[in-house]
Structure 1
Amino acid sequence: MIALTDTVDAPVDRVLDLIADRYGPAVGLDPSRVEVDREHGRIAYQGGWWYRGEYEVTEEAGHTRVTHRVLNVAGRGSRWAVPLANKFFIGFRDRTTAGFRELLREAGGSR
């Protein structure tokens, strides 16, 4: 549905900590699941019937590259219904981008 990427002047661990804090135990979608793989720099949050947000955080040439993807993980038969069922899709890309930019600012600013 959306993929964003940028680099920041912050250590990988700091960025992973910020993301993990942001997607702590519960952020409102039920049932939800948070997956943290620090060794590979990945954090995923899956909740509700369709939403999965994935972050990949890697060291790159002295900076940290942060990639955020939002995926529609609804079942095959209901995948088409996600945009119709969720009125908040109006402005979804702008809100997702703004949240990503805020995360980068908190981490140390984007390059």
Structure 2
Amino acid sequence: MQEASLERPAKHTPLLALAGVVHADVDTTFATLAELVTPQEGQVTLFLRDDDTRTLILQGGWWYRGEYRVLPDEQGSRVEHELINVAQTAHWAGAITGRSVIADAPAAFQQLLTDLAARVE
């Protein structure tokens, strides 16, 4: 599996930001989130797990970058997810190509939060 970078590519546009709270400590939440989103062997996805910043990055295809962060919250952990267009050529087409991914992201993120909570709470 190739490694992504914490630094976003030169040309990038945030397309959608989502967040939710999980009632568990940040270290447990981050470790469990990493288990859920780490690409399986053989998947063609750039991936980065940064334990210091509790950040996970998945970058695949020509336009897609997903960033997850786990932050302390008074109720446990705040899980943030951003979808970012990182197309370096035909940047304008990234959001158009990814419109179904973007449209499906809120429901997918809510399901991820549900699965995460079931494992840690």
Check whether TM > 0.5: yes
| TM-score, with structure 1 as normaliser | 0.78
| TM-score, with structure 2 as normaliser | 0.72
Matches within 5 A, 1:1-111: 1-26=15-40, 30=44, 32-75=45-88, 77-84=89-96, 86=97, 89-90=99-100, 92-108=101-117
Indicate the SS of the match to 1:3: strand
AA partner of residue 33 (structure 2)? I
User: Over aligned residues, Cα RMSD in angstroms?
Assistant: 2.3
Percent identity (aligned): 32
Contact map agreement 1:45 1:54 (CA 8 A) in 2:
yes
Count of matched residue positions in the alignment of Structure 1 and Structure 2 = 104
Q: CA deviation at 1:95?
A: 1.6
Q: Any gaps of 5 or more consecutive residues in structure 1?
A: none
Q: CA deviation at 1:9?
A: 0.4
**Divergent runs of 4+, >2 A:** 21-30
Q: Any gaps of 5 or more consecutive residues in structure 2?
A: 1-14
Contact map agreement 2:33 2:116 (CA 8 A) in 1:
no
The Cα offsets for residues 49-104 of structure 1, whole Å up to 9 and x where unpaired, read as 111000110112241011100000010x41112234x2x624x3342111111121
